[in-house]
């Protein structure tokens, strides 16, 4: 689960992270009142959406640009807020459809001396929490790593020892921080680490972490993601969820306990087991098409759960064909067949459907499919299924 910048800063601040003073606004009038309460006469107005690249973003059908605006008066804060709120902001991470800006974050401005990058994430190869930092803040770290990899610094945290100040001190020196800035960097990294481990985060990113003209470190932007598997320990984090920022298909899938991730392709996939789902997606790619989703119904899904998964697939307007690939161990093939038949009749099957079944009660399942009267295609194995759904989709485009 992702959260907004203002929410991430609240969590980080509670663990000792230095952040600018700011508050969230839901209207231009509220943004103006917040600016009046902040110190100084320079303010930053930020669109709150779950996407990066806000500063270079553009609004659909509007002349105003930029999801991050620098205001030099309270009046400008109100003007910018009017131009930003309730507008659709398009960034390189939102796709062309953009995201509707429902709230803004208004915070006190600062004089920036340098911009650094800092993040904590899980390195799955090393099986350790890893610190990533760079002198090139305010940029996409992927671009920095691709063009100047030597400027990206990393350090792994031993899970038995936890965060060590010497690691922060070493990184601070390599970032060319001096004097009090080294002590502040240790505080910043400690706060990021404590926030990460306290809330079972999967990512804590501060970009940029700035050195002000006064020589102080300040987290100017923040991004956090969480491992939802740990939410039973953090019920309060559920309150930070903004469903307006989430894919409605993923919300529907979550209600039924389905593992679903929407993608950009045209072939919907329903599979039981994460490994089999990945293999199915790979073989569709190998046949020259793209999967529209990752969808794992699990090993022991009920008829209702499978039917819900099928409805989600068919409701996606990008889907030009559906591939059902089930290996029945705990999951029975006749249950899958019954659910697919029921959902197809309920929703209406308007795209090609290829079904590959193997395992428990496979003969019963195949008999049910053949006698259903549905215009579906039965496949013998995964390769056969991928070839058949790709051929059917391409044939549909020509007709």
Asked whether 271 and 310 are in contact (CB, 8 A), the reply is no
Q: Which residues are annotated as a binding site for ATP?
A: 46, 53-55, 107, 110, 115
Find out whether 196 and 120 touch, Cβ atoms under 8 Å: yes
Residue 204 DSSP SS3: strand
Q: How far is CA 54 from CA 24, 48, 156, 203, in A?
A: 16, 9, 30, 19
User: Binding-site residues, please?
Assistant: 46, 53-55, 107, 110, 115, 207, 221, 272, 329-331
Catalytic residue list contains 117: yes
| pLDDT band per the 50, 70, 90 thresholds, residue 113 | very high
pLDDT value at position 301?
Answer: 60
74/106 Cα distance (integer angstroms): 11
Higher pLDDT, 213 or 338: 213
What is the reported pLDDT for 173? Answer: 96
Instruction: Give the pLDDT band (50/70/90) at residue 327.
Output: confident
Q: Rounded CA gap, 157 and 282, in Å?
A: 33
Contact 325, 269 (CB under 8 A): yes
Give the rounded distance of the alpha carbon of 163 from its chain centre.
26
83 included as an active-site residue: no
Tell the burial category of 378 from Cβ atoms under 10 Å away from its Cβ (0-12, 13-18, 19+).
middle
3-state secondary structure of 86: coil
> If residue 382 lies in a helix (H) or strand (E), which one and from where to where?
helix 382-398
Binding-site annotation, residues for substrate: 272, 329-331
| Of 358 and 210, more confident | 210
pLDDT tens readout for residues 7-20: 999 999 999 999 99
For 58-76, write each residue's pLDDT tens digit. Answer: 998 887 788 999 999 999 9
Looking at the chain, how many residues does it have? Answer: 399
Catalytic residue among 59, 105, 117, 193: 117
pLDDT of residue 84: 94
Candidate list 30, 78, 83, 205, residue with the active-site label: 205
Q: Which neighbouring-strand residues pair with 224?
A: 204
* Terminal-residue alpha carbon distance, the chain: 41
Residue 128 φ/ψ region, left for φ over 0, alpha for ψ in the -120 to 50 degree band, beta for the rest: beta
Instruction: For residues 20-31, give the mean pLDDT.
Output: 96
Spatial distance between the Cα atoms of 246 and 265, rounded to a whole number of angstroms = 19
**Which residue numbers belong to the known binding site for Mg(2+)?**
207, 221
Burial readout 155-189 (b: 16 or more C-beta within 10 A, e: otherwise) = bebeeeeebeeebbbebbeebebeeebbebbbbbb
Considering only CA atoms, which of 171, 45, 58, 57 is closest in space to residue 109?
Answer: 45
Tell me the mean pLDDT in the region 156-178.
94
Among 182-196, 246-260, 273-287, 324-338, top mean pLDDT goes to 182-196
Cβ-based neighbour number of residue 41 at 10 Å: 12
Write down the pLDDT at residue 4. 95
The structural domains of the chain, ordered by start, are 21-108 (3.30.1490.20), 112-237 (3.30.470.20), 248-398 (3.40.50.261)
Residues 6+ apart with CB under 8 A from 207: 117, 118, 119, 137, 138, 139, 141, 221, 223
């Amino acid at each position: 689960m992702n959260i907004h910048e203002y929410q991430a800063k609240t969590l980080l601040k509670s663990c000792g992270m230095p952040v600018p003073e700011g508050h969230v606004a839901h209207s231009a009038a509220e943004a103006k009142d917040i600016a009046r309460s902040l110190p100084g006469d320079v303010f930053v107005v930020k669109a709150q959406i779950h996407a990066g690249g806000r500063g270079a973003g553009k609004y659909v059908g509007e002349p105003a640009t930029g999801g991050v605006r620098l205001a030099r008066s309270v009046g400008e804060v109100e003007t910018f807020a009017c131009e930003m709120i309730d507008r659709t902001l398009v960034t390189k991470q939102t796709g062309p459809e953009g995201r509707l800006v429902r709230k803004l974050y208004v915070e006190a401005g600062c004089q920036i001396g340098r911009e650094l990058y800092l993040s904590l994430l899980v390195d799955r190869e090393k099986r350790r929490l890893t610190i990533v930092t760079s002198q090139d803040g305010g940029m996409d770290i992927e671009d920095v790593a691709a063009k100047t990899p030597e400027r990206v610094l990393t350090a792994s945290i031993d899970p038995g020892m936890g965060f060590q100040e010497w690691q922060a001190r070493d990184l601070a020196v390599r970032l060319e921080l001096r004097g009090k800035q080294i002590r502040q960097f240790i505080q910043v990294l400690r706060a990021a680490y404590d926030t990460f481990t306290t809330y079972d985060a999967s990512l804590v990113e501060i970009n940029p972490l700035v050195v002000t003209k006064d020589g102080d470190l300040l987290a100017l932007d923040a991004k956090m993601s969480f491992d939802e598997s740990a939410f039973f320990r953090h019920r309060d984090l559920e309150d930070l969820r903004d469903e307006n920022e989430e894919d409605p298909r993923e919300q529907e899938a979550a209600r039924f306990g389905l593992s679903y991730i929407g993608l950009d392709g045209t072939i919907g996939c329903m599979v039981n087991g994460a490994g089999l789902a990945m293999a199915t997606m790979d073989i569709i790619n190998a046949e020259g098409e793209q999967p529209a989703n990752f969808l794992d119904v699990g090993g022991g899904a009920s008829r209702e759960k499978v039917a819900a998964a099928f409805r989600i697939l068919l409701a996606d307007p990008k889907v030009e064909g559906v591939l059902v690939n089930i290996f029945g161990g705990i999951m029975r093939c006749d249950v899958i067949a019954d659910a697919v038949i029921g959902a197809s009749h309920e929703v209406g099957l308007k795209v090609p459907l290829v079904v590959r079944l193997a395992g428990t009660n496979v003969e019963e399942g195949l008999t049910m499919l053949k006698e259903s009267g549905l215009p579906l295609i039965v496949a013998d194995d995964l390769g056969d299924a991928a070839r058949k759904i790709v051929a059917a989709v391409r044939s549909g485009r020509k007709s």
